[in-house]
Structure 1
Amino acid sequence: MRRQLLPRDLGFEVRPGDEPSLFKWFLASFLFGNRVSQEIAASTWRVLVEEQGCDTPARLCRFTHAQLVGLLGEGGYRRYDESTATRLSLLCRTLMDEYGGRIGGIAEAAEDRDDFERRLLAFKGVGPVTLGIFMSGAGRALFPARGT
């Protein structure tokens, strides 16, 4: 089994208080947590973030469902492109509406790390695999006292 990709594999580091890096890693974790290869997830992430500049929920929300399906297809997502586009739209809208468009907003609203993780799991399409991937790369940035 290959090792899970980390933020540095995508060319960035997740740092405390650095919202773009937190969101980029959340988006990557979301894609890696789906049933596609790491290569397809990474390629799709590059299309969304590097080519289209989707490093914030607001920037991701500017795309229509059809545009997201096209971008996912460009990255190699073909089997789950419709459902993934729907979940991505919901994800960015929820971040905008409930957390001020910030991953840090989730941490601020949460009572503790466990509550933060419950809040992440409440996003449609975020399950234990996505949560584990995200926390492996962002846990220390969000909760420095406890680490990952």
Structure 2
Amino acid sequence: MARSITASELGIELKPLDDSSLFKWFIASFLMGKRIQAPIAAQAYREIVEEQGRDTPRKLQHCTSRELVSMLGRAHYVRYDESTAQRLLDLSAKLNAEYEGKITHIRSISEDRQAFEKRLGEFDGVGPKTIEIFMRDAAKVLF
């Protein structure tokens, strides 16, 4: 089994009530949750969030699908680039529309960890693996 990449290895310092770091880790977890090598997913995260500055749900939502496909391509994340680009756009749109663009808002309206994870799973393309990766590091600051 491949070694897992942590939030801190990506330079993300998770802190309670820090939506910026939680969003970045959610995007990284989403990319790593697919059947793709973790180092490639990590590079895709760096390209989108660090190189292109798409570090908030609003900034990410205002990308075009073509721009995102291009960013994924530069990171060699090409296997699912079209669907991943669309799902990232959908994810940011849903986060903005339903949760004020904040992971902490999902947490505040969730009774417990199980309810929180269920809400995460309602994002298109977010399955058990993405939730597992995200919660591995984020649970410490969310619960």
Question: Identity rate of aligned residues, in percent?
Answer: 51
Q: TM-score, normalised by structure 1?
A: 0.94
Q: CA deviation at 1:141?
A: 0.6
Match of 2:135 in 1: 135
Question: Counterpart in 1 of 2:88?
Answer: 88
Deviation at 1:3, TM superposition (A): 2.2
**Residue 65 of structure 1 corresponds to which residue in structure 2?**
65
Q: Which residue of 2 aligns with 1:121?
A: 121
Q: Which runs of 4+ in 1 moved over 2 A?
A: none
1:12, CA displacement in angstroms? 2.2
Whole-angstrom CA distance in 2 between matches of 1:2 and 1:87: 24
- 2:85 and 2:24 mapped to 1: Cα distance? 16
Question: After the TM superposition, which of the residue ranges 72-81 and 96-105 deviates more from structure 2?
Answer: 72-81
- Residue of structure 2 in register with 1:146 after alignment: none
| 1-structure distance, mates of 2:127, 2:101 | 20
Counting only pairs closer than 5 Å after superposition, residues 1-148 of structure 1 correspond to structure 2 as 1-143=1-143
TM-score, reference length from structure 2: 0.97
Gaps of 5+ in 2: none
* In structure 2, distance between residues paired with 1:141 and 1:39: 25
Q: Name the CA distance, whole Å, in 1 between partners of 2:63 and 2:98.
A: 19
Number of aligned positions between the proteins? 143
Structure 1: gaps of 5 or more residues: 144-148
Deviation at 1:122, TM superposition (A): 0.8
Deviation at 1:10, TM superposition (A): 0.5
